[in-house]
Amino acid sequence: MPGLYQGRNFVSIHDYTVEDMQRIFDLCKILKLEEQTNQRKPILKDKNLGMIFEKSSTRTRVSFEIGMNQMGGKALFLSSKDIQLGRGETIADTAKVLSRYLDGLMARVFSHDTILQLAENATCPVINGLSDFLHPCQAVADFFTMYEKRGFLKGLHLTYIGDSNNVSNSLMMAAAKTGVNITISSPSGYTPNEKIMKWWKEDAPLTGASLNIVPNPVKAVEKADFIYTDVWASMGQEEETEKRRKIFSAYQVNDALLDKAPDEALVLHCLPAHRGDEITDSIMDGPKAAVFDEAENRLHAQKAIMALLMS
């Protein structure tokens, strides 16, 4: 299975088939088990991954860097302050140059257009580590976590509460490709955008997944197997923090909200969490939180994606 998609990009889950996604989850499981049983294999021996960071990171940087190390390869950190990305050199030229040195390129950027330009011009695989539009690697880890906790995906119910952002966009794509029913609970003006809705309508019939937009978070969690939230103001939106705090105050994941959900419901968060805003300490540190298992699975998800594209 490693190398199955050699040379392909991982920009959006929309670009991958239902079968592709299942193969990624299968490889996540294999690689995680190998790590747990000390049977690690150097499937990316002598391979080099370049990691472009316009945005700071904890999980993305560490999981990609350690993942490459565990698979026998090397990762090179490339801060946008240290390279000429979009400043002294065009993004297209940067992609063409880096492709001559690297076996893969991961980028965590502000604008999704940067990812698209890198993918269009690079001759090595490009992985979207995060853009303002999508966060597909996070969604792979999220759905692998759900799969681990329940043993299946099709027919599960995921409720996302908060801003319809890059994370929820990728969750919607992953739900459509796995048959997970998804509910989005957001205030007016912060619901999924037109492009994501178009992609959803194209992909959901493949699995029969359903989508519901439910403004009332209490109603939204009534059938949830998993409840997901994210920060109310994403990186780059800091000037909107106070405004958004007022708008989203009724969308906090707390004990009162979980009381309205099924007893077996678990809580997910992509992290970092703004405790006291979108989620409370009692939930983050409580028995229904799967957020740290989810964070660990970023490592196994990243490894699976790199192995499929780069080996």
Q: What averages of pLDDT result for each successive group of 10 residues across the chain (311 residues)?
A: 89 98 97 97 98 94 98 94 78 95 97 97 98 98 98 98 97 98 97 97 98 98 98 83 95 98 98 97 98 98 98 93
Q: Give the per-residue pLDDT at 4.
A: 86
pLDDT value for 62 = 98
Choose, from 108, 157, 244, 269, the residue flagged as catalytic.
108
Active site residue 270: yes
Per DSSP, 114 falls in state H
Helix (H, G, I), strand (E, B) or coil at 135: coil
Residues 152 and 155: their CA atoms lie apart, in Å, by 8
| Residues contacting 198, CB < 8 A, separation 6+ | none
DSSP state of 55: S
Active-site annotation holder among 70, 117, 138, 252: 138
Asked if the peptide bond before residue 272 counts as cis, ω within 30 degrees of 0, the response is: yes
CATH topology of domain 138-294: Rossmann fold (3.40.50)
* The residue to which tokens 């105050």 are assigned: 249
Residues 6+ apart with CB under 8 A from 57: 108, 129, 130
Specify the pLDDT at position 85: 75
- Which of the residues 142, 203, 230, 277 is marked catalytic? 230
Residue holding tokens 């539009």?
133
* Res 268: pLDDT: 99
The domains of the chain are located at 13-134+298-310, 138-294
Is residue 112 annotated as a catalytic residue, yes or no?
Answer: no
Residue 230 is a catalytic residue:
yes
> Phi and psi of 42, rounded to 5°?
-80, 60
Q: Which pLDDT belongs to residue 67?
A: 98
The answer to whether domain 13-134+298-310 has CATH 3.30.390.50 is no
- The verdict on whether 124 is a catalytic residue reads no
**Residues 141 and 118: beta-carbon distance below 8 Å:** no
Question: Is the pTM value of this prediction over 0.85?
Answer: yes
Backbone angles phi, psi at 151, to 5 degrees: 85, 0
Catalytic residue among 112, 244, 269, 298: 298
The DSSP annotation for 213-269 comes to E-S-HHHHTTT-SEEEE--SS-TT-GGGHHHHHHHTGGG-B-HHHHTTS-TT-EEEE
Catalytic residue among 132, 163, 270, 302: 270
Domain 138-294 in the same topology as domain 13-134+298-310: yes
| Mode of pairing for the β-strands spanning 74-79 and 266-269 | unpaired
Given strand 126-130, what is the order of strands in its sheet?
74-79, 48-53, 104-108, 126-130
CA separation for the pair 44, 51 (Å, rounded): 16
Token output for 11: 């920009």
Give the list of residues 6+ apart from residue 272 with CB closer than 8 angstroms, or none.
Answer: 58, 231
Q: What is the pLDDT of residue 82?
A: 80
Query: What is d(CA 219, CA 213) in angstroms, rounded to the nearest whole number?
Result: 11
Tokens of 158: 């995921």
Set 135, 244, 269, 300: catalytic member: 135
Task: At 211, list the tokens.
Answer: 């989508």
